[in-house]
Amino acid sequence: MEWLLEQINHWLLQVANLAEEEVKWRRDTLPQKGNSPFEISAGGILMFGGRLCVTDVAGLRRQILEETHYSRYSVHPGATKMCHDLELMYCWEGMKRDIAEFVAECSNCQQVKIEHQKPAGLLQAMEIPIWK
């Protein structure tokens, strides 16, 4: 999983943080010294609380979700596990919602989903009819 995250980070550095208007605006309006949780890393990448801000350039967020969910090392984690894993390194607006929707679309996850229903109870004998 670490190797995968390093590859995604490398790709993020090359593609993502230079294009989106919101990120450019936040970079330009960041206070030089202050209480803002946003900061610029040594490589010129926008960070929020030590996590990489991910823009949605060329479906980058979708690719991160796919790599994390379909990886051989993670084996289709649920929305909660995937959210905890991704929140350590990345942040974007609506991240939890995007993860929940992505996991809900996965056909493998839906096939093995356990139904949480109360057991029906003991089997009851059917009445024997008097008439034919």
For domain 2-111, say whether CATH 1.10.340 is its number.
yes
pLDDT in tens, 12-48: 555 545 445 555 655 666 655 566 777 777 777 778 8
φ and ψ at 68, to 5 degrees? -70, -40
**Separation of alpha carbons 91 and 85, rounded Å:** 11
- Let me know if 109 is exposed, middle or buried by CB neighbors in 10 A (0-12, 13-18, 19+): middle
Q: How confident is the model at residue 9 (pLDDT cuts 50, 70, 90)?
A: low
**Separation of alpha carbons 102 and 100, rounded Å:** 5
- Mean of pLDDT over the chain: 76
pLDDT in tens, 66-78: 888 888 777 788 8
Q: Note the pLDDT of residue 107.
A: 84
**Separation of alpha carbons 64 and 45, rounded Å:** 17
Statement: residue 79 has pLDDT above 60: yes
Higher pLDDT, 61 or 7: 61
Starting at the edge strand found earlier in the chain, the sheet holding 38-40 runs 38-40, 46-48, 51-53, 90-91
**Separation of alpha carbons 31 and 115, rounded Å:** 50
Is the pTM here over 0.75, yes or no? no
What does the block give as tokens for 6? Answer: 């390093």
